[in-house]
Amino acid sequence: MVHGEQGTAKSMLEELLVMLIDPTLTRTLTIPRSTEELIRELSHHALAYYDNLSIIPGWVSDLLCRAVTGSGFSKRKLYTDNGDIIYVLQRAIGFNGINLAATRADLLSRGLIIQTESIPKGSRRKMRDIWKVFDDIKPQLLGYILDTLVKVLKWKKDNQGVELVKEFPRMADWAEWCEIIALCMGEKEGAFMEAYSGNINLQTQEVIEGSDVAIALQIFIDLFPDWTGSATELLEKLQVVAISNNIDTKNRGWPKTANRLSRTLKILQQTLREVDIEITWDHEPNRKRARILKIKKLSSASSNRPQAQNHAQNDSADDTDDTDDTLKELVQSDPPKRPPAYET
């Protein structure tokens, strides 16, 4: 998942990788408009890179997750009533853009976030010169990759039962292979997992910063480290927190109903646990169908939550405490009310 300002060779990086690993006339792709077309496109490329994406729709994100992990797809064969065309896919996928196009936690957790750096004017080169050098060194590059894979397979055969990775991340099998590859390339044991842990932290940060609900919940949990109540009650309180911190509750991403909030929290549940916020659901005693939310701050460490924008320039610790006290009073009020500045 490559992102960076314009002119940082994002597309060129991916084109070079494609021409080394999966040469094709269409070096980078565009997202089609239908699921069927996207599946067909992925089936024709072992390495599918999508160029210049600003946002990834939900249905595309879900399908890319399945294609990376490995999944099967089917469609009706033309001119038949019961014939099927079966696609079984497991693909290496990438995309680039000025901003990170992926926003969903399940897609972010399957990839690597790479931010490109600006190229100084004196270091820029013409396309034809880059491709000429690439064509000259391509046999050596490919040979190095294949030689490394031979070492990896031999290491795997000679060290059966040896576990290099002690705590597996989401992509467990992939992480193990990457750790072995790094070892065979001369890196110290644990070098890949150390680097990948930093990347997982970036993934968590991107999910939190991309979700207004997650930002509001971080502020809320600082005020109420151990809270229990219904989704309806939580939504009312988060509305107050959001308004007090200039979070737009009218955008499409903000849940308008308790049911929508519960769905959003389930998507964020694993990511929030990474920042020491645990969310669980339980049935309320003496009521068969009622469910209650339990939100708990697992650590007493100070939160990395952003300060309210309307107090961003106030550096006084006392003033910050006053702000939190005022916000706490607003959240605790029953029914919740808007701060005076917003009553008009």
Q: Domain residue spans in the chain?
A: 2-124, 137-199, 211-342
Q: Which two tokens stand for residue 23?
A: 């040469």
d(CA 54, CA 57) in angstroms, rounded, equals 10
Q: 295 versus 318: which is more confidently predicted? A: 295
d(CA 44, CA 86) in angstroms, rounded, equals 14
- Dihedral of CA 112/118/120/123: which sign? positive
Give the pLDDT score at 78: 86
* Structural contact between residues 324 and 222, judged by C-beta atoms closer than 8 angstroms: yes
* Structural contact between residues 151 and 184, judged by C-beta atoms closer than 8 angstroms: yes
Cα–Cα nearest to 328, from 215, 230, 219: 219
pLDDT band at 329 (very low <50, low <70, confident <90, very high): confident
Give the pLDDT score at 307: 45
Cα–Cα nearest to 237, from 344, 327, 343: 327
d(CA 91, CA 77) in angstroms, rounded, equals 23
Where do we find the tokens 């708990």? 296
Supply the pTM of this predicted model: 0.76
* Structural contact between residues 219 and 190, judged by C-beta atoms closer than 8 angstroms: no
* Structural contact between residues 238 and 327, judged by C-beta atoms closer than 8 angstroms: no
Q: Which two tokens stand for residue 62?
A: 């879900």
Give residue-wise pLDDT tens across range 171-209: 899 999 999 999 999 999 999 999 999 998 888 888 898
Check whether 65 has a pLDDT greater than 70: yes
Query: Beta strands 291-297 and 277-283: pairing type?
Result: antiparallel
d(CA 176, CA 49) in angstroms, rounded, equals 24
Percentage of the residues of the chain whose pLDDT score is greater than 90: 57
Q: What are phi and psi of 188, to 5 degrees?
A: -70, 160
Cα–Cα nearest to 51, from 105, 12, 109, 88: 12
User: Across 8-22, 72-86, 101-115, 316-330, which has the greatest mean pLDDT?
Assistant: 8-22
- Residue 285: asked if its preceding bond is cis (omega within 30°), the reply is no
Percentage of the residues of the chain whose pLDDT score is greater than 70: 86
**266 Cβ contact list (under 8 Å, min separation 6):** none
| Integer-rounded Cα radius of gyration of the chain | 25
For 211-342, give the CATH class: mainly alpha
Check whether 212 has a pLDDT greater than 70: yes
d(CA 301, CA 282) in angstroms, rounded, equals 27
Cα–Cα nearest to 50, from 6, 2, 119, 87: 2
* Domain covering 2-124, topology: Rossmann fold (3.40.50)
